[in-house]
Structure 1
Amino acid sequence: MKRLIFLFILVTIAGYHFYRSNEFQAMLRGLSQVQIDQARIAASRTSLGYVLREKQWVEFSLPKNIDRLKFVTQATVPAALAVEGATFTYGVEYQIIGENDAPLYRNIYHHTTRVSRFIDEGSEKPYTASMYLDPELIPADGRVLVLNSRSWAGDTEAKSIRIRLRGPQQGLSDALLRTYQLLHSEVPEDLTTWQRLSIYRRERLARGNVYPHGFLSDQEKSILLSNRWEPLGPLGIAGADYDVRRLYTLKEVSDTPWVWQEQEVAPDIAADRVMTFSTADTGGWLRVSFTRLPGFEYQDNEVVEMNWYGSSINERDRKLLAMSAEPKTITTVGFTPGLLELRAQSPYLVDFEKQDGEEWIHWRPLRLYAPTHLCTSEDQLEFKIAHHNTATTPLRVTLRAPLDVSDSEDLTISYELLGPTAITNTLTVSTTPSLYDRITSRGEEKKVSEPSVFYLQVPVPFTAIRFTSSRPILVSVATRSPELVHQTRVPVDVSSHSRSDPERLSAWFSIRPTDYQQRYKTQKTRLVFIQQRPPVDDPDLLLGNYLYESLRPSSNWSGRHLLLPPDPKTPLRAPNPQSVYHPLLPGSAAVQLHSSNPLRILSPSLIYINKNRTPAALRISVDGEHYFSSRLFGSTGKVQLPPLAIGPHRMKISINADVQLLMNYLKRAEPGHILRFATHLPEKQVHFDYTKTREDRDRLSFLYFSSSTSEPSTIQVTLEDAHGAEYLVVNDQFTLTNRRFEISPTETAPVIVFNSGETRLGGGQRFFFPIGADIPPGSYRIVVNLEQGPGGYLIFSRVEPGTFSYRTLVKEPLVLERRNEPSS
């Protein structure tokens, strides 16, 4: 009897401790949860996951036929911490293990997640798409890490991969891991395997296709069967080497995502923010919808301003779109490649659709982000400077102020160049709010100031730069090799504002602080959402107040006159009538002569283009009297005509061959041909003497006409001896003194070269060589070198905005009583 009583006491004590244990309590909570959410569990699929912890590795084998591995992790969030708007960060560390169990390679990926909920329309209660049986643990949104076999394919000793949790924050204790391997197999000849799949498996395989699984062709089904993700289990024994947890995920979620009541939806455009994007990626036409935000008061006659910017200053367009009183306004607009800016005084969400054949598909502009690093009074920033041999290294320092901690006054930040001797200086950071950029942090956007950009030329003795600030400042540093030639594709990079082209080359390359890894873990890095700025047009250029200067080579060179086809673009100012030629047709016609100078008598010129090169007899009568006659030889030529008074005339032309005639000083409404002198660019260098006359930026322009309409040309332009003695000087501009232009041919109207037989050139391609204020006034030499491709002709010019005083010597010819008589 005593033994039975003693055994009963032991069983009671054990039962009490088991009842109070966490496992039993979790089981009870799970049973309660099962009773409450039986419908959700019945509508869920079950999957096994493996618990990731900081001090426990989970290891998987690496078979030779594995192409890719996919790791899906879900942070386990205590229910008490899954509050409104909470985000959670954690890291996933993996190691490639060799034959001797030594790590061959390791890396850490950091994830940020949250708990997304949906609202049940019936009960109006929020729920998650995934759940555990324990209601005190909530799985966060999944994060995916895909590893390509290239990570270990080059190492024959790689036998396994192990993974664990690193640096969980915000109260996270573990995460759930599901691992999949991508398997490739031969395309099956029949669809027996497809018929054996469940409907759910078929839907999962076909979820990336346009059509559902029932509408797939036999070939599409076979391809899906030959490429599939299969679950991969870990090595070892469950319970000893790893722990298993069951995850329930709803097969279908049709309810509306639940938005936290206090979470504000940020508008795309408003009075304090604008939107810009490249129209080169839209295909020409866009269907744009503007949606009003709840909680805001909107005025009558609301408008959205659309500003389009092309590649040149005379390519601009502005539209004002009237917004309806309805919650959403939809409009269709079309633009050629350029930059589009959207502005509004009231907040709107903006959505886009672009044409894909005859259908409209959803489209969003590419979002650009710039990494920045926080500099505070307690935390200095240091960047290493890598020099190439003994060359001076350029640095670009970009500074921004978070506006939630700044005031209206500009801030300052100090920097120190570290070397044999330390050099210190301060930089001023603007606190002007940016309409284009915003800080992105944990899914939220915060205001930031306009960037303050500075450039330094750092000589070899200095190996690092250190920043200190009494106020929080966002710092980013970039560099470039001083010997790197910047490449530009013409016209792709010149006429398009697109940044989604992977072949577009950057001029600057970001560098990280020396303690980047620690900063990343402690969240002292910030991503700034940036947008392209529209070009700022010079008002003098818009008014036509500028000085145009054509530059000629200083060495041995040759050139020809080119007859450029009419340009449909509106010029900034009316061209000189002396250089504009309009066609003259055989027969009698009324003409009007005019001049930009106060001349009463002109000396017009006649250009002829003889298609068959046979001599032609030309006779011109003006106002019923004989004016000029001559025989025209060769394929092209220019003839000086006798003086003629300005004003209206009646001109009659007679010619006995198929010859095209053009004459200057004619007043016509349509644009005419332009006669320009161009430098011949053979397979050698051409040198230009260039004098910078002012402190401000200089605008140098090249117009290249290739002798081929099918082969590209590569031209290198170098400004020599430009950065000789500007060490340690801070500038707000930087000139790339060595540029390479890859020029593609055009299919526009051919350009005629005079006195060169039947030579025809392709249409001109314009590119620019800007020289900033960092280059002081002085005399320099510009070298133009044809590196590759066919030669051609080059027009090199400079435009200086402003009002200039200059003298023009005008010689007015006399009208002789006896005109040119035909030869007998």
Structure 2
Amino acid sequence: MRRLWLAAVAALVSAALLWVGHGLWQRLSVPLLRLEAPADFADHEVGLGYVVAEDTQPGFRLPPGADRLRVLVNGAWNGPQPVPETRFSLIGTYRDESGLVLGRESVFFRAGRTLYPRDAAPPLAAVSFEEPDRVALDLRIALLYPPSGTASVQFEPGEGPPGLVDVVLRLYGPNTLTPGTEQVAWQRLRRVEKQRIAGATIEDYRFLPAREIAALVRTIWRPIGPVGIKDRDYRMRRVFIPRHVPPAAPEVLIAQPEVPVLGPGRAVTVPLPESGGCLSMTLTPLSVPLPATITPTAAPRLFWTLHRRGDTPLTRVVPLQIGVENGVQLDVQPGDRMIELRSEEPALLRVTLNRPPPASPGEDRERAAEWDITPPLTRIETWRARPQTPLQFGFHGSPNEATALRLNLIALPADFAAVDQAGPVLPTQSRAEVRFKNADGRILDQQTLVWRPAPDPYTSLAPLALGVPLGIPLVRVFTCPPGTRLVEVDTAALVQVALRPADLPLVRAVPGDYADYQGESRPIPLWFSLAPRQAAALRRADHAFWLVRQQRPPELAPELLTGTAWNEALDLEPAGAGRVLWLPRARDGFFETRAAAATYLALPVGQAVSVDFIADGRAALAPALLFVRPPEPGSLKIFLEGKHQQSLTTSAPFGVLSLPPVSAGTHVLRVEADPATRLFLNHRLPEDNYLLRVFARTLDQPLWVDVEKEADSAVSLVVTLFTPRPATENTLVVTRLEGVDPRRGGTAFTPREGRFTVQPAEDDALGQGEPRYDAGQRFFVPLGDDLPAGTYRLWLEKVEGPARLVRVTRQQSLTRRPTSLRPAPAAPTPKFFQE
């Protein structure tokens, strides 16, 4: 019996030793990616990629505290080796724990150029597939910054060229694990990946070399696996892209230059890395013959504007020398967002960044590699259509969502050889038929365009450079019906087509690592010093400008200069901040001319309150009272020092009253009203003003507002949309600027047309009853100094969406933004009133 017990104990000990030995062997055999430099992993392969295609959109659950994500992608090209600088993108959707969408972000990548030359040298070469007609693009990298409260992120394909069949993605989050727990996590991940590898095929996965991943991930990143990968179908499908369908008769594809060219009306925006560095801009003016209608500039100049984190743009003017290479150097600081470049003469551009951030704390900045961050030329394929032979463009979009399609039509002479020496020979009238068809060939929608071509004086400066007179481009934006698979364009003109996936955001934070901004609808980083929730909402807005003059729309609505007035900046004073007020210079209930961004103090209804009034040097001024109440008849009674001063009977849901004049000092104020009424007394900030009047009207019909530009200096209009609760859908608004007389020069150019997709604000506005509106979401319409003084008309038209109210304000200064609101000081006279 004793022998049996000893044998059993020996078997148990042997099993334990074998288990421990097996685990130790696995631990020793699994490479850890906590390295300070690339290491040799022999034949080990890690970094399983997850396919992202039209019908494959993997989701990833974020670990707690993941405030940023690193994305490694590798695109699959169907065909021969892709050309350098091939562009593609992914769209990430951020969701909270309940599945509510917090935001969407489009990340652009470019093949043929590594973003981390210090970490992965030489760059990762293209990897060939088993199939001879399929290759993979180079490894691409970017950083994402999920909104606060994000629990998961889902990826889908964005824009890309024909031939890009899918993208393989690998996601990493910040490594908050300890060395011990990190090792265990890596072992578990390796076991899972080995199981996937055992049953994977070349059509399911592609692998990234461990050497490159170790060099790029470094010590602060760890992999994040997808959610529900076992239940997903990883089939290859074409990315959501426009694709030309060649018919039997060959078309003429017009070649375009590959180098960025500055010039009149051709501004370039260069996003900057988060960490700063030494920026070098090299410009070579071109010797281009100008049309007879354009007067040559004696001393051409370069205008550049640097946008900083604090949104205080720095603008400089640099003279250029014709025929030689001009160099400009600038030190950009950490947090600088972007630089805008404009030139009075056409010139080639190259932008480089020296001394980028070091790869490791011990690396010498001076010996770090140079970044070539020259922005790619915003180009689009141009096709010469033939009469009675329609061009066909096919794309695969969502069957349930509409897609925005932009169509440019450029008239040209019927016969290239028959050019009149006296002037351009353009047709007196041009016509185009646009048809939208589904997969079965059935016409879902059909549009007919008829226009009179006007000669374009800048033809010789156009990127097409055909050597023949061209017409001013006619730009139209259509909404392709859901289920559209084919777009036919039947015309005798040059045709350019671009797609905009639904809800694709164009304004977003510039990531810490350099990101490419490119494509026909490239993002334009805009930064304003707003409150955090306002800034986050503004970045989610959709800004897409097309700088082409449009025909005058019919006058369908009266002026916007009537309606109910609201104050632009409305913010509640924090509790316990005190009751010290600055008296406004109120005129007819509006804060105008000398008015600043105003704050309001909440007043209790029916209670006497002691308020300290601080005057601006005058003997007496009248404060203003804001009331918000149910939309039914009611009355308000105002008592000052116990005496009845004013009464009002109204059914308006909100309004502003000028109270009786009071002197500086402490006064007792009491307002009697319905219990549901909310009262706010204005609080004046001792700072320069930046707003003028505000007007609110319903947006059920197209509206217009006349803007008086008193000088050549730039001004900006702020358009705010209010959406009734509880609607959560986006609102698409189209803007058109009329009366535009473009001229050459200026430090800014003015967009003639814009499309804005605006999400409802997160907070409710000051309103009670039904409907109850949100706090308002704003976007900006600039009027640059390229427009002379005069009167201009801005049209606003809601294409779709639930927003009903709109208000327009005039912003006096483009360099000053509203600062954070704070209680006014108690003693000195504010500098705002010094004259």
Larger relative strand fraction: 1
Same topology, TM > 0.5: no
Give the TM-score normalised by the residue count of structure 2: 0.38
Give the TM-score normalised by the residue count of structure 1: 0.38
Larger gyration radius, structure 1 or structure 2: 1
